[in-house]
Structure 1
Amino acid sequence: MIFKFSITFISSIFLFMISLCMFILGFQHLMINKIVLVEWSILSLNGSNVIMTMLFDWMSLMFIGLVMYISSMVIYYSGQYMEGDYNINRFIMLVLLFVLSMLFLIISPNIISIIVGWDGLGLVSYCLVIYYQNVRSYGAGMLTALSNRIGDVFILLSVAWMLNYGSWNYIHYLWLICDYDMMLITSLIIIAAMTKSAQIPFSAWLPAAMAAPTPVSALVHSSTLVTAGVYLLIRFNEMIIVSFMGKLLLLSSGLTMFMAGVGANFEYDLKSIIALSTLSQLGLMMMTLSMGMSILSFFHLMTHAMFKSLLFLCAGAIIHGMGDVQDIRYMGGLINNMPLTISCLCISNFALCGMPFLAGFYSKDLILEMLGMSFLNMLGIFLLWISTGMTMCYVFRLNYYLVGKNYYGSSMSMISDEDGWIMFTGMLGLLMLSICGGSILSWMIFSSINIIILPYYLKMIAVIIILFGIWLGYNIMSFSLSKKALFLGKNYLLFSMLGSMWFMPNISSSIMIELPLWVGGAYGKLIDTGWNEYLGGQGMYKYSKSGSSKIQIVHFNNFNIYFMFFFIMFIMMILFFN
């Protein structure tokens, strides 16, 4: 027990110190507008150099600092959450490998070195999703791995196509906006980022990845795996605006926001609700990126990581205290038993909604106002505002189930904050960022004042949408409790579609698992055991056997055969001479 705690403590302190250094360097690079490009010659053999290129600007340094800070809090939190696990050393090593893979992705301006981090994230995430080693974890891990492999294929295709430029340092070629090769590479990168950030039609793996331990979910959904695609597209932002795939990304991200927001209102699993909220916020980041606002997208990426990691850690503390119960219908009145944890959860929920002066307010409000000034079409405006209302809707519903209702759990459980002081310390470090992080980043990144001029109705529409979301959340919650709407026969298919992410998990499993098996079976039946056998070994055996059996008749030396042969030859000679 002492060694298990010490390895988590040492790892968290080490990451925390690195994060402070990275934050300071990032703010320094931001103030003086400094960019450092480092080329490290790893190996030189027979005139061939293997060079590792690293890019350090304010964006990469600040993101590294945030990833390190959240990782340190998550690992410190895991010291108590995973204390009953006999393999906690292996768990901590996997988490550190996960963070290392993300660092490779952040600092790499080279497609080849990006693959190291990209594939490392996919491999280690598979190991973490199947960590509990049960059937559900194996299925979720396979869906996660196969979905991410699609993106890996497109990254490899972009690597092959970049040979046309003679170098894999993509950052040197972003000025070639109208070049056909660069636009094709950008399209491949966009598809890869859509798989990693779980945009439609690759959204099914994100809720399935909840089979991993809760500290891993806090890390995955805040600053590592799902944000890798967003961060990569931020680097390619100049090309996204002019690419056709950028328009497709705008539609896909808007639909992802809407689908995740609606689906979260039908979920009863605590971790799935938070996972769908992550999916909704990823859609908002992608939508902002496709409109050409890369700095705003990065700003929301940072603030979202702050409160979403806190939200997952609070959910883990609740599940831990409830005896591994994740159904929110069994929870209620937890503010009386876990006041500190529920207070942190409510603050992170309010930050998710964009309550003024919390972390999420500074990024979400700015994004909504900037998109209100843009040339976004009516469908995009509708998806944006309705998804914002859906966020308020499922947050109100979640707070009601956790705080407002009566407790329906086991009467034998002893739920309190007293036994989880180590977990609460980890949450406290993220609570400070959720309250103050948005304002600090806003002062640093947007130091110059930009005036946003909007009509009165567009200024007030945010308040109207919030009130509409609260009203809709109350109605959905009351309908769910009274069973008035969910079991109407004529609406069953509609509610099934809305509550299951538009049947996307079924479609994804069918396409990724059942369809390849069916195609493989049909190929084996038609080709391998069909035409290949008919034209190959079995066919040759059949015809050679038939021919040899006919030739073998001659080898019997039967007198009748020779008599018949000579008789035919005699008749033919007579006919010929006549």
Structure 2
Amino acid sequence: MLVQSLYHVWSFFLFLMSVLFLCLCLKFMLLDYSLMVEWILYSFNSVSVSYLIYLDWISMGFCFVVFFISSMVVLYSGVYMGDYNYSSIRFLLLVLMFVTSMLLMIVSPSLVSIMLGWDGLGLVSYCLVIYYSSLSSYLAGLITCLINRLGDIGLLVSISWLFSYGSWNFMFYLNHYGDLIFYLIIISSFTKSAQIPFSSWLPAAMAAPTPVSALVHSSTLVTAGVYLLIRFYSYLIFMNYFFMFVGSMTMVMSSFCANYEFDLKKIIALSTLSQLGLMMSCLFMGLVDLSLFHLLSHAMFKSLLFLCSGVIIHFMGGGQDIRMMGAICFSLPLTCSCFNVANMSLCGFPFLSGFYSSDLIVEVGVFNSLNMFYMVIFYLGLGLTALYSIRLIYYTLLVNYNYSGLVNSGLGGSIYYMKHSLVLLSIFSMLFGCVFMWLSNLDLGFLLLPSYIKILTLFIVLLGVYIGYEMNFILYLMPKTFYFLNGSMWFMYSYSYSVFEVGYMYGFNLIKGMNWGEYYGGSGLSYYLLKLSNLIQFMLLSSLSGFCLMLIIWLIFLS
């Protein structure tokens, strides 16, 4: 019981912290107030090392969301990760280290302390991804860690670059930085937020336990890049059509791929990637407040979606293939109700959290004279979101039983504490959008649109729902290459072999069919070292005269 009580204590503490940050956020928002706290760690003559904390309603609001979701995930993990073992205590400590790193990143106006939090996020997320000690987990952890390292390199270069401006507290100098620093920060954030071409690590990281996916890969780690860009925001740099194009392509690519995926957690991961693309596109249109709004509301319903999927996977005895599910609503009615709330909110169903943010982003984009290409892309993203959500609901809830041999029959009593997390997150998934909109006065904007444009978002969502349902009965409508393209995230998983085939397969098929990249690389070098070693060994063992001759040659060479 000690392990379970630890989980409950920490869950309660995190919940109290979330309430505290919510109250502070409301107060700071009401008074339009911000606070900077400086703690001098070391001072000697003119050298001063200090730690700064910057508190305003944006950082407080994000801290509230992080702590609230963490408390729900910790409560849920007490059952999910098992009791009475040291491994689950290690899991709890890793989650708490992750939350600490996130807090360090959120409240820092200094790039050095942001780097500490940023690096902490990368390292702890690696430990969490490889928590299940299997080969697939190790490979997923490796790709996650290596791609995130690229972003760390960009931040390290930015830190050294800021030497020339006299301070690492970037908020004081945002109007004075050169363009290249902003571009470096943007590309570094793209690695953490898994934008094209760094997208492949997010679905791979689903090898982690489901509570980790709910906390790390929906609301904190992947949104750290978006949050950093909100902090670094400058209208002169961020009104950028190229980066907006990258964000919108990420949104469409991940939505397409989610429609051809059968792993439950990977579908939800790809939908997270789609929403991250929407946030980035929104940011590069100049809509900072709406990007933050969508970031916070998305965190609520996406973590709920992951936690519901965790209960379903638990029920399925560890199975994640949606083709093996069906009619789960009869066995898990409450979980499926919460799952539907999260899915509908993701689609942008009217009067749920996702509706207020995604609908407003599209309408403001159209109102700000968004060109035809981006308008089509945004509406396509909306429709595809509804399409893969309905496909997910169809396979898990609507089709007949497919899981007779896989059911975890002993689930009944253990799900009790999980239910608390699901119900609380469901309430926030329904109410958070409208409450935040009223509090931050986002509904005071005057948008004058024709009625057919106003109704178009709802029409596209309903069209996506209908096509998503119909597509479940259409088999192999497209050629095989189309499914291969979408099944490999537009060749992000498997483009390396295509490049290898084009660039490496001509000429130089020298030794045992080695290509020139191998021949001049490690394989060729090891081959020749082996041959040289064999030759020397042969000469040394052949005769005394040969040995003496070699000895003389070596002595001449050494002298």
Same fold (TM over 0.5): yes
Distance 1:418 1:338 in 2: 12
In structure 2, give the amino acid aligned to 1:499: G
| 3-state SS of 2:38 partner | strand
**Matching residue of 2:51:** 52
| 3-state SS of 1:464 partner | helix
**Matching residue of 2:219:** 223
Report the CA distance shift for 1:71/1:520 in structure 2 as closer, same or farther (over 3 A). farther
**Matching residue of 2:510:** none
**Matching residue of 2:190:** 194
Q: 1:274 aligns with which of 268, 276, 281?
A: 268
Is structure 2 residue 224 aligned with structure 1 residue 250? no
**Matching residue of 1:146:** 146
Distance 2:270 2:467 in 1: 18
Q: Per-residue deviation at 1:184?
A: 1.1
Distance 2:349 2:367 in 1: 22
| 3-state SS of 2:445 partner | coil
Matches within 5 A, 1:116-127: 116-127=116-127
Identity of aligned residues (%): 46
Q: Per-residue deviation at 1:447?
A: 6.1
Report the CA distance shift for 1:381/1:162 in structure 2 as closer, same or farther (over 3 A). same
Q: Per-residue deviation at 1:382?
A: 1.6
Matches within 5 A, 1:100-499: 100-176=100-176, 181-239=177-235, 241-242=236-237, 246-411=240-405, 413=407, 414=409, 418-446=413-441, 449-479=444-474, 483-485=475-477, 491-499=479-487
Report the CA distance shift for 1:259/1:54 in structure 2 as closer, same or farther (over 3 A). same
Distance 2:519 2:145 in 1: 22
Q: Per-residue deviation at 1:523?
A: 5.2
Report the CA distance shift for 1:298/1:164 in structure 2 as closer, same or farther (over 3 A). same
> Any conservation in 1 of the 2:518–2:524 contact (CA below 8 Å)?
no
**Matching residue of 2:28:** 29
CA offset digits 1:531-562 (Å, max 9, x no partner): xxxxxxx9xxxxxx99x99xx9xxxxxxxxxx
> Any conservation in 2 of the 1:221–1:308 contact (CA below 8 Å)?
no
Distance 2:495 2:145 in 1: 16
CA offset digits 1:140-179 (Å, max 9, x no partner): 0000001001111111111111111011111001123xxx
Distance 1:401 1:136 in 2: 25
In structure 2, give the amino acid aligned to 1:309: S
| 3-state SS of 1:242 partner | helix
**Matching residue of 2:40:** 41
In structure 2, give the amino acid aligned to 1:154: G
CA offset digits 1:99-141 (Å, max 9, x no partner): 1111111111111111001100110010000000100000000
CA offset digits 1:207-260 (Å, max 9, x no partner): 000000000000012321000000001112215x5358x332101110000001
In structure 2, give the amino acid aligned to 1:216: V
> Any conservation in 1 of the 2:144–2:204 contact (CA below 8 Å)?
yes
CA offset digits 1:312-337 (Å, max 9, x no partner): 00000010011001111111111111
In structure 1, give the amino acid aligned to 2:441: F
Report the CA distance shift for 1:131/1:519 in structure 2 as closer, same or farther (over 3 A). farther
In structure 2, give the amino acid aligned to 1:367: I
**Matching residue of 1:542:** none
Please give the TM-score of this superposition, normalised by the length of structure 2.
0.88
More off after superposition, 227-236 vs 81-90: 81-90
> Any conservation in 2 of the 1:265–1:476 contact (CA below 8 Å)?
no
In structure 1, give the amino acid aligned to 2:464: G
In structure 2, give the amino acid aligned to 1:25: L
Q: Unaligned regions of 5+ residues in structure 2, if any?
A: 504-514, 529-535, 537-548
Distance 1:310 1:324 in 2: 19
Distance 2:379 2:436 in 1: 25
Larger radius of gyration: 1
Q: Per-residue deviation at 1:12?
A: 0.6
Q: Unaligned regions of 5+ residues in structure 1, if any?
A: 531-537, 539-544, 553-578
| 3-state SS of 1:44 partner | strand
CA offset digits 1:64-120 (Å, max 9, x no partner): 011001000000000000115640110000001111111111111111111001100
> Any conservation in 1 of the 2:254–2:273 contact (CA below 8 Å)?
yes
**Matching residue of 1:541:** none
**Matching residue of 1:534:** none
Distance 1:423 1:308 in 2: 16
Distance 1:26 1:171 in 2: 20
| 3-state SS of 1:54 partner | strand
CA offset digits 1:265-308 (Å, max 9, x no partner): 11111101100110000000000000011110000000000100
Distance 1:396 1:449 in 2: 33
**Matching residue of 1:70:** 69
> Any conservation in 1 of the 2:348–2:461 contact (CA below 8 Å)?
no
**Matching residue of 2:543:** none
Q: Per-residue deviation at 1:528?
A: 11
Distance 1:508 1:39 in 2: 48
Q: Per-residue deviation at 1:448?
A: 6.3
Distance 2:412 2:45 in 1: 63
Report the CA distance shift for 1:50/1:460 in structure 2 as closer, same or farther (over 3 A). same
Q: Per-residue deviation at 1:408?
A: 0.5
Report the CA distance shift for 1:509/1:351 in structure 2 as closer, same or farther (over 3 A). farther
> Any conservation in 2 of the 1:262–1:499 contact (CA below 8 Å)?
no
| 3-state SS of 1:408 partner | coil
| 3-state SS of 1:167 partner | coil
> Any conservation in 2 of the 1:101–1:116 contact (CA below 8 Å)?
yes
Distance 2:459 2:442 in 1: 30
**Matching residue of 1:18:** 17
Distance 1:249 1:365 in 2: 21
The count of aligned residue pairs is: 521
> Any conservation in 1 of the 2:40–2:49 contact (CA below 8 Å)?
yes
Q: Per-residue deviation at 1:185?
A: 0.9
Distance 1:497 1:525 in 2: 31
Distance 1:520 1:197 in 2: 34
Please give the TM-score of this superposition, normalised by the length of structure 1.
0.85
Report the CA distance shift for 1:519/1:233 in structure 2 as closer, same or farther (over 3 A). farther
Report the CA distance shift for 1:409/1:374 in structure 2 as closer, same or farther (over 3 A). same
Distance 1:448 1:390 in 2: 26
Report the CA distance shift for 1:166/1:508 in structure 2 as closer, same or farther (over 3 A). farther
> Any conservation in 2 of the 1:362–1:438 contact (CA below 8 Å)?
yes
| 3-state SS of 1:38 partner | strand
Report the CA distance shift for 1:445/1:47 in structure 2 as closer, same or farther (over 3 A). same
**Matching residue of 1:556:** none
> Any conservation in 2 of the 1:77–1:423 contact (CA below 8 Å)?
yes
> Any conservation in 2 of the 1:340–1:417 contact (CA below 8 Å)?
no
Report the CA distance shift for 1:298/1:447 in structure 2 as closer, same or farther (over 3 A). closer
